[in-house]
Structure 1
Amino acid sequence: MKQMPFTRRRFLKTAGAAAGALATPYVMRSSAFAQSNVVNVWTYANFLPQSFIDQFQRDTGVQIRIRLVDDQGAQFNLMAAEAPNPSADLVTIASHRFKQFVSSDLLAPLDTEKLIHWQNVNPVFRESDWISMDGNKWGMPILTGADALCYNTEMVSDEEADSWMIMFDPKFKGQVTYEIQGFFSSLILAMGNDGNMVEYLGNEEKAREVVNAARDMMIEHKDMVRKYVTSGPESQQMFINQEVVAAQAWSGPFAKMIMEGFPLDVNIPKEGGYGFVYNLNLANNSPNAENAYKLLDAILASPEVGTEMVRASGFASTIDGADEALSDLEKRAIAFSPRDLERLIFISSEANDLKWPLIDAAVEQVKAA
């Protein structure tokens, strides 16, 4: 996988994101979930290209019913409310959220023997520690990206975009945006602290101090922000409307804009940034599990499917060979430079119980200030 040449050691050491709620279903769900010719998938917009959906349905006779997701927490809450009888067969979970879903019995272990093409997943991902718990694998990696800094190359220099502190630069007052919760980890990192907060396990006082320092920075410079956003599409629209010149955002949506010719670039600032992997996971007690396995294997069967997923989503593929058919512009849009890769740290879930209650409270304080 040329565009994301992680070392296995680096990924296994550190691997472990968005706001809003579950969106309106793409296809209305039947009240009877267990059916012989359907598979119910909860996933993000554009993760499954329409061309693939159409081909899969023609080849198998199985209808893909999609419910759009734009927030991991909301997806968890809905799955917990439906348990033990989910409406979903497959759900899309980020690598750093696996532990929460698995420990709550919301997922079934993946039987890789049912996936003829399992070996087409790049080993950096399929053999990572976060995907395995209790001797089982709990998902199929499909796409990977990072919390990055996106900027208008006609208005912002590469040097200016080389630090997260651009968000507080008076030169760009009223021309920057970020999603408050998502920006916290990167800002904590930019201030010289551990955004994963693993370093502060057993020391809640220090963790609170670190979070509050980032909170105070946001509050002090609140007038710098054009508008706090809650989703990637909202940030995209602000660039299109020329309201902002820089944004903290997940890399995928903006890589897609670069592919379409917008004068943007995406980088990992010098202070570092956090990476993640999206996976398709089998819901525990999936009503149509066999159809779910058919869908998973169809995604892996040809690298061209991975290519189309890249083009549709803007995120890099975890499937070997998926980058070979991409144009030079497409490769540039989704690729992280060697410098960026050196700066990339993968999100860890190890300190989530410590981290997120503190950050969630701080987010509300920033909004209220």
Structure 2
Amino acid sequence: MTRITANRRAFIKTSAAGAAVLAAPAIFRGTPARAAGVVNVWTYANFLPKEFKEEFQKETGIQVQERLVDDQGKQFNLLTAEQPNPTVDIVTVAGHRFLQFIDAGLLAPMDTGRLKNWGNINPVFSESDWAIIKDQKWGAPILSGAEVLAYNTEIVTPEEAKSWDVMFDKKYEGQTAYIIQDMMSVMMLYKGYDGNMIEYIDNPEKAAEIVKETRDFMIANKSMVRKFYDSGAEIQQMFVNQDVVLAHAWNGPISKLIMDGLPVAMTIPKEGSYGFVYTFNIPANAPNADNAYTLLDALLARPEIGANMTRTSGFISTINGAEQHLTDLEKKASSFTEVELAGLQFFRAEANDMKYKLVDPAVEEIKAA
């Protein structure tokens, strides 16, 4: 099976060409037989554009029943609790969490032969080394993103935002926010360590020392933080209300703020950060697997759909040509410079078992400090 080791520059980079979205043709060519039933999808807010869902339901007769999720761990626990008979047909898993779901027997391998539009995915995502586990593919990459430093452009300067140091500048005390678990990985990188912890997979004592050092650093700087938040909607509201001027965040929610004209910008600081890919996956024993494949194939059918997913979610579509259907502002809000991309690494899963056994207790200790 072909593998491509995804490089940083190809990872969430948009082209200079582009145009506004045109009226879209039907999802399916010809007139498909109308299907019966439903497809149950667990996903993040705005990952499935309203227009796509309406068009899909009209053309196929399949009703899309969507349940919003905001955390990979919660989704894992819920899917585990429903085994061996899940109520869901499509889940949304971040690429670096594949192993956790696969090892628990929660996902079915993806039969790409059932997706005639699979080739529309940029191979940087569909054929990357992280996407192939146990010689199988386990999901359809749909959106990509990065952990970014977001800032209020009326208060924080671009020069200040070039380093994660600004998150610990006393003049911004009480005006920052972050997701603790994600921030710990970034802070390990900030301190010169491997935030994926793959370097220490055979040296758990060193891994424990690094997590302890990072935990203590974050506790010592806890006064800087207004709130440890959980969802993209929370950080958006905090920027809108001017509760914070700085945050570690996913690029998607921040991109939406930029598209809406708020005085917010985002960057990948010089110390670097981590990128990730969201995938749509079919659970083992999904009750409506045929309908799930029908929806996935429709989602991959046209670059206009990918562009609309970027527009509604703020994350970057993995579908070839999607960027050509974005406006200049939308492209600006969903791309990074060559210098920024040079510091971007993928989240990896190889050491996750060891990593999160150390990180999860540290997160609780930071909260309680």
TM-score by length of 2: 0.90
Counterpart AA for 1:272: G
The residue number in structure 1 matching 2:73 is 73
Where in structure 2 are the equivalents of 1:203-222 lying within 5 Å?
A: 203-222=203-222
| Correspondence 1:295-314 to 2 at 5 A | 295-314=295-314
2:45 corresponds to: 45
Read off the aligned partner of 2:310 and give its amino acid letter: V
Corresponding residue number in structure 1 for 2:185: 185
Give 3-state SS (helix, strand or coil) of 1:109's partner. coil
Q: Alpha-carbon deviation of 1:122?
A: 0.3
Aligned to 2:30: none
- Retained in 2: the 8 A contact 1:106–1:284? yes
Task: Point out 4+ residue stretches in structure 1 off by more than 4 angstroms.
Answer: none
Partner of 1:122: 122
Look up the match of 1:26. none
Q: Is the 8 A contact 2:150 2:267 kept in 1?
A: yes
Letter matched to residue 292 of structure 2: A
Equivalent residues of 1:36, 1:288 under 8 A apart: no
The aligned runs of 1:143-182 (5 Å cut-off) are 143-182=143-182
In 2, Cα distance between the equivalents of 1:146 and 1:236? 16
What do the CA deviations read for 1:33-86 (whole angstroms, capped 9, x no partner)?
xx9320001100000000100000000000000011111111111111111111
Contact map agreement 1:201 1:351 (CA 8 A) in 2: yes
CA drift of 1:221 comes to: 1.4
What residue in structure 2 maps to residue 31 of structure 1? none
Task: Tell me, in whole angstroms, the C-alpha distance in 2 between the residues paired with 1:156 and 1:347.
Answer: 28
| Distance (whole Å) between structure 1 residues aligned to residue 52 and residue 326 of structure 2 | 17
**Deviation for aligned residue 1:130:** 2.1
Q: Distance in 2 between matches of 1:227 and 1:84?
A: 38
The answer on whether the counterparts of 1:11 and 1:346 sit within 8 Å (CA) in structure 2 is: no
| Paired position in structure 2 for 1:267 | 267
CA distance in 2, matches of 1:274, 1:160: 20
Contact 2:38 2:291 in 1 (8 A): yes
| Residue of structure 2 equivalent to 1:318 | 318
| Matched-pair contact (CA < 8 Å) for 2:139–2:282 | yes
Give the secondary-structure state (helix, strand or coil) at the position aligned to 2:269.
coil
SS of equivalent residue, structure 2 residue 81: helix
- TM-superposed CA distance for 1:133, in Å, is 2.4
Which letter maps to 1:150?
A: A
Q: Report how far residue 198 of structure 1 moved.
A: 0.7
What one-letter code is carried by the residue in structure 2 that aligns with 1:304?
Answer: E
Structure 1 residue 135, shift from structure 2 partner: 2.8
* Structure 1, gaps ≥5 residues long: 1-7, 16-34
Q: Quick one: distance in 2 between partners of 1:299 and 1:279? A: 12
Q: Following the alignment from structure 2 to structure 1, what is the Cα–Cα distance between the partners of residues 128 and 6?
A: 10
Q: Please state if 1:64 is matched with 2:87.
A: no
Rounded Cα–Cα distance in structure 2 between residues aligned with 1:42 and 1:243: 30
Deviation at 1:155, TM superposition (A): 0.7
CA distance in 2, matches of 1:264, 1:187: 22
Instruction: Give the structure 2 partner of residue 362 of structure 1.
Output: 362
Cα distance in 1 for partners of 2:276, 2:224 equals: 28
> Structure 2 stretches of 5 or more lacking a match?
12-34
Alpha-carbon shift at residue 11 of structure 1 (Å): 3.9
User: Between the two proteins, what is the percent identity of the paired residues?
Assistant: 57
Aligned partners of 2:280 and 2:232: how far apart in 1?
20
Q: Within 5 Å, which residues of 2 pair with 1:92-111?
A: 92-111=92-111
Report how far residue 10 of structure 1 moved: 4.2
Cα 1:362–1:134 shift into 2, 3 Å: closer
Q: Distance in 2 between matches of 1:303 and 1:146?
A: 21
* Counterpart code for 2:254: F
Q: Who is 2:290 aligned against?
A: 290
**RMSD of aligned residue pairs (Cα, Å):** 1.4
